[in-house]
Structure 1
């Protein structure tokens, strides 16, 4: 009887050990999954680079580029569209945030981890053609005009630094459009990409706008950036994947339609 009890006990003990060993990988996988890093990816309403449809889908050239990079890096993320001023505050103070498109400036160079370039960009001062003065204005005269620029943007920073004081700070092109339609402003600072958005989404024509001044210091490039607090291991992985998609032709495939569009509208 005792021998049978011991045999059963040994058998049950072996079963417990086998069950434990069998379930151990599942427990490890569960823990790994729970601890998987999910980056917070934030973009803005900057058609055609990035935008959100009425159905909630997020698209655009820079979004497709971002997805290609992250797929190569095999990293998980949650992508959302957030007003730029709020995004800019958060990416300076929080960990594991990737933001795009971010314009490079000397002042910003040390504040973020710069992953890879999306596209060159030039910002120009435009005027509604119907409100254009009969004689060209000097820079001193332009400084007295009411000008719309996005809040917390390098355009606002540049104009403030150069004594443009009559500024209306906007949250994006939607507010800019509203200001134009209400006759509140005639002047605004935009890139060709932003002007394309304004025209295409509001049934306007390129001839409705006239370039009045180009700022040499506002010729820069747009990037993907990581918050400075993000681990270097993540930065290196995403940077390597960005280089991969440039080298394998994915970057050119995604971005070439945009470059052709901007070249076609080079007169704007």
Structure 2
């Protein structure tokens, strides 16, 4: 079985020793339990999708499950909830954003051309004015810590992970708003893949969640 993913730490990323992350380790446990050999690659997202489409026994992850994507995959999961939150520094209780209309002169850091960026622009926020667009979460977090903007939008897992890289606790940030919490991350198999493969992987994932391995793994990446 082939697994294709992108750089989205801490769920999946290219580490020094190869593919790493919560979703990567979870899939390895699932494959091992199902008796499946697994080869993993971390690629730019478009290439990851192309490679997954070209391989019959392939898994693409971490996928946000949406109505538009529903018929495009056989779904195994969920891996984890997808919680995109807007944060401020805990040291700035004077910032009291509760709705985007109240942002005023404040600025929100967001990864350029991300789903969160598109969503905020659709809500009427302007790049260069209310939106401080950065290359990645780590860059935006450093800007927030340096006082170059008031807020930042982050996946809660990414917030915890990037703070740990800076040796800072999660409570350095304080969530002021939920931007998008309605979806979850899943593994996706091709719609024409053997349904037995999807079933075996789902059985293993369910077992991992029941016996405590899922929670132990989660705490290594998000606490």
Under a length normalisation based on structure 1, what TM-score does the superposition of the two structures give? 0.64
1:240 to 199, 218, 222: 199
- Is 1:46 the equivalent of 2:13? no
Structure 1 pair 136/67, CA: closer, same or farther in 2 (3 Å)? closer
- Is 1:164 the equivalent of 2:128? no
Displacement, 1:64? 1.9
2:29 to 51, 68, 72: 68
1:139 to 100, 103, 106: 100
Q: Which runs of 5+ in 2 are unaligned?
A: none
Deviations 1:182-223 (A, max 9, x none): 5443322223311210221112233421211123x5332111
Structure 1 pair 109/152, CA: closer, same or farther in 2 (3 Å)? farther
- State how far apart, in whole Å, the 2-side matches of 1:59 and 1:103 are: 19
Structure 1 pair 147/112, CA: closer, same or farther in 2 (3 Å)? farther
2:159 to 195, 216, 227: 195
- State how far apart, in whole Å, the 2-side matches of 1:44 and 1:108 are: 20
Under a length normalisation based on structure 2, what TM-score does the superposition of the two structures give? 0.75
- State how far apart, in whole Å, the 1-side matches of 2:2 and 2:140 are: 31
What residue in structure 1 maps to residue 18 of structure 2?
57
Deviations 1:220-268 (A, max 9, x none): 2111124xxx46134x243112222035x224443112556799x6xxx
The structure in which a higher percent of residues are helix is: 1
3-state SS of 1:189 partner: strand
3-state SS of 2:54 partner: coil
- State how far apart, in whole Å, the 1-side matches of 2:64 and 2:168 are: 27
3-state SS of 1:233 partner: coil
- State how far apart, in whole Å, the 2-side matches of 1:155 and 1:262 are: 22
What residue in structure 1 maps to residue 183 of structure 2?
220
Structure 1 pair 257/68, CA: closer, same or farther in 2 (3 Å)? closer
Structure 1 pair 106/161, CA: closer, same or farther in 2 (3 Å)? farther
3-state SS of 1:117 partner: strand
* Larger CA deviation: 192-201 vs 157-166: 157-166
> Which structure: larger Rg?
1
Deviations 1:123-153 (A, max 9, x none): 2110123455455454212376432334554
What residue in structure 1 maps to residue 149 of structure 2?
185
Deviations 1:61-97 (A, max 9, x none): 3212211333455555532334xxx305652694335
- Alignment length, in residue pairs? 216
Q: Which runs of 5+ in 1 are unaligned?
A: 1-37
